[in-house]
Amino acid sequence: MSGGEDGIWLALTAAAPVRMQCQRCLQPVAITLAVDRRLRFVRGEEEAARLDEESDDDVLELRPREDLRSLIEDELILALPLVPRHERCPEPLNVAEFGAASRSSSDAASDADTPPHPFADLAALRRRPS
**Residue 61 and residue 15 share a domain:** yes
pTM (predicted TM-score): 0.58
In a domain, 25, yes or no: yes
Q: Which of 56, 53, 57 is nearest to 8 (CA)?
A: 57
**Residue 49 and residue 15 share a domain:** yes
Q: Which of 16 and 114 is assigned the larger pLDDT?
A: 16
DSSP result, 18-32 = EEEE-TTT-SEEEEE
In a domain, 49, yes or no: yes
**Residue 55 and residue 106 share a domain:** no
Give the model's confidence band at 98: pLDDT under 50 very low, under 70 low, under 90 confident, else very high. Answer: low
pLDDT digits (tens, 9 = 90+) for 14-45: 999 999 999 988 899 999 999 998 888 888 88
pLDDT of amino acid 4: 47
Domain that holds residue 113: 95-127
How many structural domains comprise the chain? Answer: 2
Tell me: pLDDT of 102 over 70: no
pLDDT digits (tens, 9 = 90+) for 46-94: 888 888 787 777 888 888 777 888 888 999 999 999 999 999 998 776 6
**Residue 57 and residue 16 share a domain:** yes
In a domain, 83, yes or no: no
DSSP result, the chain = -B-STT-EEEEEEEEEEEEEE-TTT-SEEEEEEEEEEEEEEESSHHHHHHHHHH-SSEEEEPPTT--HHHHHHHHHHHTS-SS---SS-SS---HHHHHHHHS-HHHHHHHTSSPPPTTHHHHHHHHS--
In a domain, 85, yes or no: no
**Residue 72 and residue 25 share a domain:** yes
